[in-house]
Amino acid sequence: MSLKNLTMKKILNILTLSLFLSVTSCTSYKLEVQQGNAIAPEKVSQLKQGMSKAEVTALLGTPLLQDSFQQNRWDYVFYISNAGKQRERKDLILTFNGNRLANIKK
């Protein structure tokens, strides 16, 4: 092979690599974003009326929202944003009567 052919091959390889790198950088990676309390459905199914606040906290963790004016209501809110898709919201609202779980709203 001549020197000219080797030089042309190197240039072609460099151009091919440059094109490949520039094309792969055009697409962006879209991260899945989760915010709030991610609660597994099997944990929600373990909730029973009459459980104490301490038992609920041990099972689900602390609630995302505790209203100062409605201290017997705990809100577990979870948002998930998938790559390029619409944001999805899931709510779990627990109402207590005193220290005992009275109502579960999914």
Q: Tens digit of pLDDT for each residue in 32-65?
A: 777 777 788 899 999 999 999 999 999 999 987 7
> To the nearest whole number, what is the mean pLDDT of the chain?
84
Residue 66 has pLDDT above 90, yes or no: no
Minimal CA–CA distance to 96: which of 78, 77, 71? 71
Give me the domains of the chain, ranges plus CATH numbers: 31-105 (3.30.1450)
DSSP, collapsed to helix, strand or coil, labels residue 63 as coil
Q: Which tokens hold the place of 75?
A: 């809100």
pLDDT band at 7 (very low <50, low <70, confident <90, very high): confident
Residue 95 has pLDDT above 90, yes or no: yes
CB 94 within 8 A of CB 73: yes
pTM: predicted TM-score of the whole model, two decimal places:
0.64
Q: What residues contact residue 34 under an 8 Å CB cut-off, 6+ apart? A: 78, 79, 80, 81
How far apart CA 56 and CA 97 sit, in angstroms, is 13
